[in-house]
Amino acid sequence: MIEEAVFRLFEELATKSDHVAVGPRLAELGWSDIEAEYPVESCELLFRAQGRSLAHTDCLDRVMLAELTALLNEPADGIVLPNLADSCTPSSAEGQVAGIVVGCPRGRMVVPVSGAMGTVSVGVVDADRLTASRLDTFDGSVCWWHVSGALDGELIEASTEWNRAISAAHRALATELVAVADRALRLAVDHISARVQFGMPIGSFQSPRHALADAAATLAGAGRCWVRPGAMAGGCRHRPPRRRPDGRTERWPTPRFRCAAPSG
């Protein structure tokens, strides 16, 4: 029932042309209680729903800020991501903001700042103090903004937390991409089931059936190559070996989702 409600919500949000802050709508579903009881499954569900619907929301910001919020005195509304050319390395430097914001910049923005020897610190800036210009993206519906401006105030060391935020983002986006691919595969199945060629449905021929079967197997494998978002913040954490009645120890069963190192 919860899954269906979330899917319906994101299908509704997908009809809007603007980037949507999803928090208030999730609150109507009692999301804080769901998230507290099922932190892994709830996060996975959001990105599955986003992948299915192609809605533009602030879910990615929510996931990354969850890893950084302990460092902040007050809640933040968004995060400045690195420029595309910088991969996972923050583009901002001490005293200077530079980067990309998903959705229109608003409220308090967390700014990751590159330091010496690959370290990362974070600061906070009000979005009103930033200069923002919308990026000319291939997909005109995408709402990405390049921001720049001065960064004053205290910087807090956050190398570990930033790595966790990046890992959480990778897992979340992987979940979303698998959901997008799954939806595309379903559309392909519907297409070959309905289209007729030489007097027969295309799906009755071996070639398309085998191609779709291969695609389904590849997609299933992809879904098992990533830890579900939020499951293990900051990397792969394993439980210690358990002790058997005979005194020997053994490993816990391997989880369905394999640990994977973040990639660019």
How many domains, the chain?
A: 3
In this prediction, the residues of the chain whose per-residue pLDDT falls under 70 are 226-264
> Residue 145 belongs to what domain range?
74-157
Q: What is the pLDDT of residue 159?
A: 96
Q: What is the pLDDT of residue 187?
A: 92
Residue 100 counted as domain residue: yes
Same domain for 167 and 215 = yes
Residue 261 counted as domain residue: no
Q: What is the pLDDT of residue 256?
A: 36
Q: Please say which residue of 128, 157, 186 terminates a domain.
A: 157
Q: What is the pLDDT of residue 226?
A: 58
Same domain for 106 and 186 = no
β-strand partners of 108: 126
Same domain for 223 and 172 = yes
- What's the pLDDT tens digit per position in 117-151? 899 999 999 999 999 999 988 888 889 999 999 99
Q: What is the pLDDT of residue 260?
A: 36
Same domain for 136 and 202 = no
Tokens of 16: 């809007």
β-strand partners of 121: 113, 157
Same domain for 104 and 42 = no
Q: What is the pLDDT of residue 177?
A: 94
Residue 260 counted as domain residue: no
Same domain for 146 and 82 = yes
* Spatial CA neighbour of 162 closest among 64, 236, 260: 64
